Amino acid sequence: MNFDYETLRFIWWLLLVLAVLGFMLSEGISLGVSMLLVLDNKPETERRSLLSAVAPTALGQLAWLPAVALLLFAAWPIVYAVFFSSLQSLLLIMLLAWLCRPLGWYFRSSLESLAWRQNWDKALSGSGFLIAAFLGVICGNALKGVPFHLDSDMRIFFLGDFWGLLNPFSLLIAAVSVCLLLMYGACFAQLKSSGALARSSQAWVFKAGIGFLLLFALAGLWITRLEGYHITSDILPGDASNPLNKFVKRAEGLWLDNYEHVPSLWAIPVIAFLAGGATIYWSKIQRSYWAFMSSMVSVGFTVLTMAISMFPFLLPSNRSLNSSLTIWDASGSQVTLTALLGVTVIALPLMLLTSRWAFCFSAVGDAGLPDDQHQE
């Protein structure tokens, strides 16, 4: 089936959102459960049980990370280049944190020393907090604008530094991300466990859930005063890609434009907030399945809130406004998008089904860990 260029670009944007959703819903569990490891001074048996819930499927779920990167590279190569060149310091730290996670999952029990295992647990938990926070920092900078410039030859110039990326707004979004994923991971642990571990997880669902609700509301209020971006020239979604063939303005509250034009879109952030509240309620009355499902909805609709708020921007520039990258002017060619569409449409749903199947058969306990982890 042949699509015109405008429709192809929009379909690929939907696929990118789907891939990010898959990443957050699958890897988010591993990050959230990892954060629980060092909280409440858990005994070795409980920490081992938490790891057994995610270790058997962790590397498979991590496949969503290269999937998102490959999709971005295939559909929007300019965005891919600017993103990785401008945020390389953040991404390098995140990559190092991700690299230590497989080592911790599979080698923490290579020695019988309790200190050895505790140190690995601290590394795993620290990597979970760091990655969750830096995901928020990236989202915060995407909303605030990244300091880059494109010249007439499409050369990329990053005009900021690492510390400039850690601005107050991005740190707020980082806190939202940490609370959201901690609530999500704690819901999963509560669902898959019993006894003291379930009670501890339930307590963290409440703490992280309240934190998420307060910080999400604060972020929403801040965005009403945050400078957003708007294309002032004619939008030509069927033209060849050239980010410099447009004019962009920046002003307070422009990230709310899409909601003002389509008021029904307000349901997305409202559902994200209400689902967070429902997660706390279901967890409190020990309906852990419904608490986990509500937390999934909260994670998913939080991602959708950001995607809808920024549409059609993918990566705005706060130094060179006209260099901002959108889905209409930074994509690959029509031939490329058409050729890769069939494979992507088949692959992403299969990955979603596989991730869902893998977590259905995981359980908090000793199953799935190496034999030496079954020893006291």
pLDDT at 335: 92
At 255 the pLDDT is 95
In this prediction, residue 375 carries a pLDDT of 36
Neighbour-count burial of 312, counting CB atoms closer than 10 A to its CB (0-12 exposed, 13-18 middle, 19+ buried): middle
Length of the chain: 376
Q: Classify strands 325-326 and 148-150 as parallel, antiparallel or unpaired.
A: unpaired
Pairing type for strands 313-315 and 248-252 reads unpaired
The per-residue pLDDT for 362 is 56
User: What confidence score (pLDDT) does residue 374 get?
Assistant: 37
Kindly give the interhelix angle for 5-36 and 195-225, rounded to the nearest 10 degrees: 140
Predicted local confidence at residue 367, as pLDDT? 36
Peptide bond connecting 312 to the previous residue in cis, omega within 30 degrees of 0: yes
Q: What angle do CA 122, 127, 133 make, to 5 degrees?
A: 125
Q: What pLDDT score was predicted for residue 360?
A: 66
Q: Count CB-CB contacts under 10 A for residue 371.
A: 8
User: Digits of tens for pLDDT over the chain (376 positions)?
Assistant: 688 999 999 999 999 999 999 999 999 999 999 999 988 888 888 888 888 878 777 777 888 899 999 999 999 999 999 999 999 999 999 999 998 888 887 788 777 788 888 888 999 999 999 999 999 999 999 999 999 999 988 899 999 899 999 999 999 999 999 999 999 999 999 998 888 899 999 999 999 999 999 999 999 999 999 999 999 998 888 888 899 999 999 999 999 999 999 999 999 999 999 999 999 999 999 999 999 999 999 999 999 999 999 999 999 999 999 999 999 999 999 999 999 998 899 988 888 888 777 666 555 444 334 444 333 3
Q: Where are the domains of the chain?
A: 5-347
CB under 8 Å, gap of 24 or more: what pairs does 221-226 form?
A: 222/169, 222/172, 223/143, 223/253, 223/255, 223/256, 223/309, 224/252, 224/253, 224/256, 225/252, 225/253, 226/143, 226/144, 226/169, 226/252, 226/253, 226/255
Instruction: Quote the pTM value.
Output: 0.91
| pLDDT computed for residue 129 by the predictor | 96
Question: What is the DSSP code (8-state) at residue 227?
Answer: E
Residue 209, Cβ neighbours under 10 Å: how many?
29
